[in-house]
Amino acid sequence: MIGATHRTQRVPGSRLRAALIGTATVAVLVAAWEAAVRIGNLPPFVLPRPSQVVATAVEQAPLLGPHVATTATEAVLGLAMGTMLGWLLAVLTSAFPTSGQISHPVVLLSQTIPTVVLAPLMILWAGYGLTPKVTLVALTVFFPVLVAATAAIRDVDAEYSDTVAGLGGGKAHQMWLVRLPASVPGALAGLRIAATYAVGAAVVSEYLAGESGIGVFIQRSRKAYAVDQIFVGIALIAILSALMVAAIVALRRVATPWQTNLVST
Amino acid sequence: MTTTANSTGRAPEAGRSEPVLSVGDLTITFPASRGGRGGSQDGGLNVLDALSLDVHDGEFVAVLGPSGCGKSTLLRALGGLLDPRAQVEGTIAVPSDASGRRATAWMPQRDGLLPWRRAMANAMVGAIAAGVPRDRAYPRAQQLFEEFGLAGFERAWPHELSGGMRQRLALLRTCLAERPVLLLDEPFGGLDPVTRRRMNAWLATVHLTEQAAAADAVARDASTTGSGVVLVTHDIDEAMTLADRIVVLSDRPGRLLYEARARQGGEERYDRGSLLSALDC
């Protein structure tokens, strides 16, 4: 249908089976890691045991809350901003092709610069607070949302726009009844892809400057040679990213209830 | 080459009133695609060739012809949906409403239902696009859901409806536009033969021309200009069941080959044999 959706065959119990296999794979890998460190007798400042990482996480838990909250705030605000901007530009360029021709080279050019590279500039311009990190996340999210929403509008346009025009509808009707709603699944599909980058972008900008955040926690741990803490940070980033993706999948269900065939990965 | 089969001589409507819709010597050519595809001569694809067609008040006209003869192009031209690159010669006269907008409602071959709107919201697209006030369109929509056998499905998503229901909903949406001229492009083309037969039998009971006239009367405060339906199809039975008059087009470029008016009161409304032979040549 629209955007990045495809049909899945619903075999009863297949999802449970997939989940069990996935869990088992991770468990085997963690066990192999634990065994390798014990057998190889590696020092903890090179590679800590997973059990030690868990122990450190429990020990550090009271300290971690504010760091996680900071990074999550940056990621969520940046996602929201980047999505809004990408989606708006997609709708705008479909309504006014000239605006697309103007913005296209700029957008393309900006994509030749990895957003993370811009972090030092952001910090110089916007200081040490939330703003440079949110801006960086927004820049990272912007492009995939723009591309996916533009594609969704382009794919859907002709048939439905003709229907509306054939009933007497003008350009405004086509925009309101067709383009705008057609872009929503695309924007959300782009958001789903962008969400995995968002936390990473926030953390990298925290590496450079900041008082709080998972990136700050990892940098402090690095300076103290606390490798186990670095692993705790990495695990937190993974969990946060997964939660973001899960939230967006849930949002897609609510925002596009007509799509029954969304893959929930 | 044009022949007119008519048991009563001239049509009773013809000459007595101005046609609701009129096409004169219409020739449509699409410029050649840069790839230089086959079938195009003189650098362009000639789709319709000097076609003339009048639709009179209350008339249901079926345009019958082989695939690719320009039937859909004709309907798109009537509905104002022609590709702007197409070269158009001849005249197209369609009624317009008080605000100068084209007073036609076009229904595409594929239903064109918006997947993000529930059934009732999809029906209302007809009213919204045509500028019909909601307080007038909504009660009529409710009534039409009943008449079109869609009652109880107002909150269904399009993908939850069967093919036949989707087409009925698309037709309902077209009626809600309150336009005096309905343009139907193979409305049942995508349906299986059994459903298609049922839909045709049902549509014959709906009396679309009267629907359009009634709606138009409301929209114009009773000063109606007349109504009509143009149905494009390649199904001879569909045309014979529904139409007051059948117009047969030739292979591309579409020219008028044959015209027949339904007999009044007889068992067979049309002479199937002559329709078939017109289609065969």
CATH code where residue A247 lies:
1.10.3720.10
Are the beta carbons of B106 and A166 separated by less than 8 Å?
yes
- Is the minimum CB–CB distance between B101 and chain A shorter than 8 Å? yes
Residue A135 within a domain: yes
Residue A64 counted as domain residue:
yes
CA distance A119 to chain B (A): 39
pLDDT at residue number B220: 63
- Is A85 among the domain residues? yes
Domain that holds residue A215: 49-255
CA distance B73 to B186: 12
pLDDT over 70 (residue B159): yes
Is A163 close to B125, i.e. CB distance below 8 A? yes
pLDDT at B281 over 70: no
- pLDDT class of B15 with cuts at 50, 70, 90: very low
- pLDDT for the residue B208: 72
| Chain B nearest-CA residue for A173 | B129
Q: Give all domains of chain B, ordered by start, each with its CATH number.
A: 3-103+182-280 (3.40.50.300), 111-178 (no CATH)
Residue A88 within any structural domain of the chain: yes
**Hey, what are B22's tokens?**
């009129």
- Which one of B114, B157, B174 has the shortest CB-CB distance to A178? B114
Residue pair B7/B49 in contact (Cβ under 8 Å)? The answer is no
pLDDT band at B3 (very low <50, low <70, confident <90, very high): very low
Q: What percent of chain B has pLDDT over 90?
A: 35
Contact residues, B window 185-214, toward A, CB-based 8 Å cutoff: none
How far apart, in Å, are the Cα atoms of B234 and each of B122, B173, B221? 27, 23, 37
Q: How many domains does chain A have?
A: 1
Q: Is residue A264 part of a domain?
A: no
More confident residue, A110 or B50: B50
**Rounded-to-integer distance, Cα A204 and Cα A199, Å:** 9
Q: How far is A160 from chain B (nearest CA, A)?
A: 5
Q: Is A44 inside a domain boundary?
A: no
Q: Does B16 touch chain A (CB under 8 A)?
A: no
Q: How far apart are CA B93 and CA B106, in angstroms?
A: 16
Q: Is residue A26 part of a domain?
A: no
At B183, list the tokens. Answer: 């343009």
Please say if the pLDDT value at position B14 is more than 50: no
Q: Decide if A8 is inside a domain.
A: no
